[in-house]
Structure 1
């Protein structure tokens, strides 16, 4: 049987609840892309962290190249940039002091090579996690990455060495740091700048602790969606 319909009084036809809505034309504002940034990382943590910045008017291409030497990462960055030139290029890697002199020379040479190509380098010594730690506290001690893993684990209530590298955590760590009541990105930038200014005259591999990540964060912050 056909579905019964309710009769509508003539006097009700013009009431708001009884009118059929007509399509509304919304003006979609297109934000032009004013700048392109290529961020080449050596790990998932860095890649997903930088992808979490909600920028506007800027295209950010964050690439994770995985485990390879620092110099090889810079060379691969050259290839990526030659395929499609971006306005600004950043290389993001750290130095594991436990690997010894071979790591020292690779680290220094990679930074020099990147600088010669006009790339910017957000390097960290000893670990990228120094940047996360500085959200909570200042340190100028020559800590190894295990220290940062332990301290971040206490503050974030997890086994950082085991779970801090997982995809789901890496994808939300930016938001975690932003919302944590004891965390401050603004203070992290200040602390990181102090560390760098105090050690900038030293060879790169001797700049421990240092993280230049603050420079890249400041660049992304300039283009955040407000």
Structure 2
């Protein structure tokens, strides 16, 4: 009797439980446009974008973050099987006061901070080039406007964020070097600097980890 061969069936890929990234943003246009593009690029990462309206000072952002963290803890207590989400406060230095207090507040809330000095556009510039000029936010925005004609800080146009997605890793490396330069100068988080690269790296790592695995 002929031996029956085993049936060859392709197993369905297993999808790992995913951690959600909850981004609490201050910027109404530029930051939202960028993170929406990031969400579209890394679809296997769970990204939720929340905008604090009206835009407030960093302390206001951290108040929102603390409230969100408390809400998530309540959800976990009622359902311990739910994987812990990560909350990120995304805000700029600009002319705001009490930034130090806001950054320190993350230690109390358990949240992460993606902080740019003087503004988020520093992070966008790094997708194109290294940047170490100690400019104010108007000068940084003008610099980025020269690099991206779709961007208009005084109008309704937003950056070509989809185009930036193939340069995220370059921006991360430049951002890390930029922060290291400020530290070497004795001005940690001074102008210009941004820690958004920590957030994008975490998102990319989560997207990679959550890709379907075939056995």
TM-score (norm. length: structure 1): 0.70
CA contact (8 A) 1:90 1:121 kept: yes
Q: 1:175 to 1:138 in 2, by over 3 A?
A: same
Q: Quick one: distance in 1 between partners of 2:12 and 2:43?
A: 15
Aligned length: 184
Is residue 152–residue 160 contact of structure 1 (8 Å, CA) maintained in 2? no
Deviations 1:50-104 (A, max 9, x none): 23224355422111103112112111111122223442111100011xx3xxx34
Measure, in 2, the Cα distance between the counterparts of 1:118 and 1:196: 22
5+ unaligned residues in a row in structure 2: which ranges?
Answer: 1-10, 74-83
Asked whether the 8 Å contact 2:19–2:206 carries over to 1, the reply is no
SS of 2:174's equivalent in the other structure is helix
Which stretches in structure 1 are left out of the alignment for 5+ residues?
1-26
Structure with larger Rg: 1
Q: Partners in 2 of 1:115 and 1:195 — Cα distance? A: 24
Matched residue, 1:22 = none
Q: CA RMSD in A?
A: 2.6
CA distance in 2, matches of 1:176, 1:55: 14
Residue 157 (1) aligns with residue 155 (2): no
TM-score (norm 2): 0.74
Q: Determine which structure has greater relative contact order: mean sequence separation of CA pairs < 8 Å that are 6+ residues apart, divided by chain length.
A: 2
1:14-53 matches, within 5 Å, as 31=15, 33-44=17-28, 45-53=30-38
C-alpha distance after superposition, 1:181-212 (max 9, x if no partner): xxx322211111012123348566x6111100
Measured after TM superposition, the shift of residue 149 of structure 1 is 1.9
Q: Which moved more, 1:131-140 or 1:47-56?
A: 47-56
Residues 1:75 and 1:218: Cα distance change in structure 2 (over 3 Å): same
Answer yes or no: is the 8 Å Cα contact 1:189–1:214 preserved in 2. Answer: yes
Conservation of the 8 A alpha-carbon contact between 1:35 and 1:57 = no
Residue aligned with 2:60, SS? helix
* 2:123/2:196 contact within 8 Å kept: yes
State which of 140, 163, 186 in structure 2 corresponds to 1:176.
Answer: 163
CA separation in 1, counterparts of 2:151 and 2:20? 36
